[in-house]
Amino acid sequence: MGYLFYHNAHTVALRLGSQSSVELPVAALVLATLGLGAALILTGGALRSSASSVVGWRQRQRERRHQALLRVREDGHRWLWSGDLDAATRALARYVEQNPHDVDAVLALANAYDERGELEAERRLLETERAVVGSEARLLHQLGRLALKRGNAGAAIDWLREAVQQHPESPRLLGELTAALAAEGRFAEAVPVAQRQVAAERQPAHRDEAIQNLTALRYRAAESDPDATSGDRALRRLLGESPEFVPTVLRLASRARAAGDIRTAERLYRDAIRRRPRGVLLERLTALHAASGQVDRALPILRDACSGNDLAGPRLALARALVQAGKHPAADAELADLVRDTPAWRNNGIDVAPERDLVAGELALARAQDREAATLLGRAATGGHRPFAYACPRCARVWSEWRDQCRCGAYGTLDWVVDATPAARGRAAGEPLAAAGA
């Protein structure tokens, strides 16, 4: 710069406008220009650094808000687990509003609504979510379960079918689709789905349950087949494959009986009784022959049923059939045996008194001993359970008559209270009697 001042001391005119101009030494002009450039660079730098610090501040704010929301989400889940549904719903709803793509949180909120019984709010949430993230299998599954819960099995089937398309090997989805189809009475459609579930099920316990379910559905599909011939064929095939499933036996026998084929009906009962002398089989066999006035035809099979086991049911059924057949001394002897063995059964938690009193009362009635009959029948009616009542080992519900499906959903489980499993019997003693057909 000194060099410029010394050797180029002349001035140049800098025109500032059309009228004004200043005269400056060259060196001063260069200096001013350089100064201006430096000022510009410095200002730019300062601006840039302050802008980036604003961005950083915004990012930190966003991060803080995000962390706060995650805490809200965590709180929501924790409250859901601890059962504080109001707090859980508030927290999760707040979180989901900001994060509609978090399907897990949406499902947690849906569950909170579900547990509060706010099914309409749950439906709205799930359908909105579906519009946001599309047909996610977990959403479809939840929508299906919700529809089933609201009694709309048709909609549940549509949701679950769509979910199954995405996860064709999911036993859980297949099982729920099966249940929805069955709830709609679409048993023939449910059978192949249940078959796929059995094939997909890996856990042995679940697999056994799926097989039982498949058997029940095949039975329902066969017995409700509008084509009686193909329905009969399907029932016979099912009997061959699952002979222990009692509803098939009873359905085929009652069809044979309705067609006047007593021999086939008897054979069906007899074969099933040999597998296991279930109360309903003994009762139906006796009724089959009683209808034609030939109860004694049932006696050999009933006697057979009493051997090889320590069940009370077959012996009570035999004593009752002896009374009906007019074989009073034999009935007397059987009743005396029953009285003798009653304490042993009682030690095992089995109360045969109501059945025994009923049979003894029927015998007294047949012998025209009315006063004694009244006493015995009265005692039978007020005993620990209703004589020859049925209990479900799955749910312990007690029924006055046999039915193929219990209200708990189980098929073919009912057995006489005196022959039911100890657990079911224990609970059955305190249970009110469910009316047949209810």
Interface residues with Zn ion (CB under 5 A) are 392, 394-395, 397, 406, 408, 410
Q: Can you read off the two tokens belonging to residue 58? A: 């915004």
As measured in angstroms, the least distance from the Cβ of 438 to Zn ion is: 13
Q: Which is nearer to Zn ion, 75 or 404 (CB)?
A: 404
As measured in angstroms, the least distance from the Cβ of 238 to Zn ion is: 21
Query: Distance of CA 149 to CAs 89, 146, 185, 200, Å?
Result: 20, 5, 16, 25
Q: Which is nearer to Zn ion, 137 or 433 (CB)?
A: 433
As measured in angstroms, the least distance from the Cβ of 364 to Zn ion is: 35
Q: Can you read off the two tokens belonging to residue 160? A: 């679950």
d(CA 320, CA 305): 14
As measured in angstroms, the least distance from the Cβ of 428 to Zn ion is: 11
Q: Which is nearer to Zn ion, 26 or 433 (CB)?
A: 433
As measured in angstroms, the least distance from the Cβ of 278 to Zn ion is: 15
How many CA atoms, within 13 angstroms, populate the side-chain half-sphere of residue 406?
20
Strand partners, 415: 391
Q: What SS3 state is found at 172?
A: helix
Q: Which is nearer to Zn ion, 11 or 405 (CB)?
A: 405
Q: Can you read off the two tokens belonging to residue 235? A: 């029932």
Neighbouring CB atoms inside 10 A of 15's CB total 9
d(CA 404, CA 220): 10
Query: Distance of CA 37 to CAs 13, 32, 46, 252, 320, Å?
Result: 20, 9, 14, 105, 119
Q: Which is nearer to Zn ion, 123 or 397 (CB)?
A: 397
Query: Distance of CA 211 to CAs 184, 207, 383, Å?
Result: 20, 6, 38
Question: What type of residue is 8?
Answer: N
> Closest Cα to residue 412, out of 401, 424, 402?
402
As measured in angstroms, the least distance from the Cβ of 146 to Zn ion is: 25
**CA-based torsion, 89, 94, 100, 102: positive or negative:** negative
DSSP string for residues in 244-306: T-HHHHHHHHHHHHHTT-HHHHHHHHHHHHHH---HHHHHHHHHHHHTTT-GGGGHHHHHHHH
As measured in angstroms, the least distance from the Cβ of 430 to Zn ion is: 15
As measured in angstroms, the least distance from the Cβ of 397 to Zn ion is: 5
As measured in angstroms, the least distance from the Cβ of 190 to Zn ion is: 20
